[in-house]
Amino acid sequence: MLLERDKLTDEQLQELLHVMQKVNSFDYNAEKELVHMRGVPDVAWRTLKYQLESRGIIRKEQILPFSVESLILSIREEEQERNQIKQKNLEAFLRWIKTQGCRREKLLSYFNENLIQEIQPCCDNCGARLPQINNKGHVSSSLLPWRKTLMELFNVGESKHEETT
């Protein structure tokens, strides 16, 4: 998702597009002058450039005629659609966090797949526990190093080339 600080305001967008309307050749120098000298954030510019290219407005260092008003409308609409998708994904993720069912199964079904083979230990909802957490839910006093804990969790052996951390 575009961060708010990377998003151009309507005024910025309008100003930029009005200038672009008057530019015929849009080569590297023209781009530099237009964008970098105005202090347009890099991410915001790259996003806008992509939006213009995907609409066929920027083509081969040329800017084709366009209407500023309808372009802004179209850009904002696209952003809104994208935000709705992100929101939906976030909601699905939150449902997954709060689920009482098998997380593996839920995750697979999100990608339209089924759990074919049962895997043990499966997930926390199926009773899998970290080895060093006792049944009262308290972390035992002797904590293993993080590397060892991760390896146990993923059932992998010690790495040969130990890094010193």
CB of 105 within 8 A of CB of 20? Answer: no
126: contact with Zn ion by CB under 5 A: yes
> In the set 123, 130, 144, 151, which binds Zn ion (CB under 5 A)?
123
130: contact with Zn ion by CB under 5 A: no
Q: Tell me the C-alpha distance between 70 and 93, whole Å.
A: 35
* Span 33-92, contacts to Zn ion by CB under 5 A: none
102: contact with Zn ion by CB under 5 A: yes
Closer CB to Zn ion, 118 or 152, in the complex:
118
* DSSP β-bridge partners for residue 58: 63
104: contact with Zn ion by CB under 5 A: yes
122: contact with Zn ion by CB under 5 A: yes
Q: Tell me the C-alpha distance between 28 and 33, whole Å.
A: 9
φ/ψ of 61, rounded to 5, equals 60, 25
